[in-house]
Chain A
Amino acid sequence: MLAFLKRLWTIVRRPSVHYSLGALTLGGFLMGIVFWGGFNTALELSNTEAFCTSCHEMQDNVFAELKTTIHYANRSGVRASCPDCHVPHNWTNKIARKMQATKEVWGKIFGTINTRDKFLEKRLELAQHEWARLKANDSLECRNCHSSDSMDITRQSARAVEQHERFLFTGEKTCIDCHKGIAHRLPDMAPTAMLSSDGEDAGTVRAQLLSFIAGHEGAAAGARSLD
Chain B
Amino acid sequence: MKTLARIMFGVFALVSVAAFAQDQFATMRSSTPLADNAAPRPMSKPENTDLRQVRNYPEQPPLIPHAIDGYQVDKNSNKCLTCHARAAVADSQAPMVSITHFMNRDNQFLASVTPRRYFCNQCHVPQTDARPLVENTFVDVDKVIDYVKSKEGAK
Contacts and interface: CB of A to CB of B under 8 A. Distances in A.
A69 B75 CA distance: 19
Contact of B92 (A70, A163, A186): A163
A224 interface: no
Interface in B52-91: 66-67, 69-70, 72, 74-77, 79, 82, 91
Interface residues of A, number: 17
B49 to A, nearest CB: 7
Interface in A187-204: 187-189
B96 to A, nearest CB: 15
A79 interface: no
Contacts of B72: 181, 185-186
B48 interface: yes
B120 interface: no
A185 B50 contact: no
Contact of B50 (A70, A159, A167, A181): A159
Contacts of B69: 70
Contacts, number: 37
Interface in A173-193: 178, 181-182, 185-189
A162 interface: yes
A218 B72 CA distance: 43
Contact of B66 (A157, A167, A189): A157
Given A162-B93, A189-B76, 6 more contacts: A158-B50, A159-B66, A163-B92, A181-B79, A182-B70, A186-B77
30 contacts: A68-B70, A157-B48, A157-B49, A157-B50, A157-B66, A157-B67, A158-B49, A158-B50, A158-B51, A159-B50, A159-B66, A159-B92, A159-B94, A162-B93, A163-B92, A167-B91, A178-B82, A181-B77, A181-B79, A182-B70, A185-B72, A185-B74, A185-B76, A186-B72, A186-B77, A187-B76, A187-B77, A188-B76, A188-B77, A189-B77
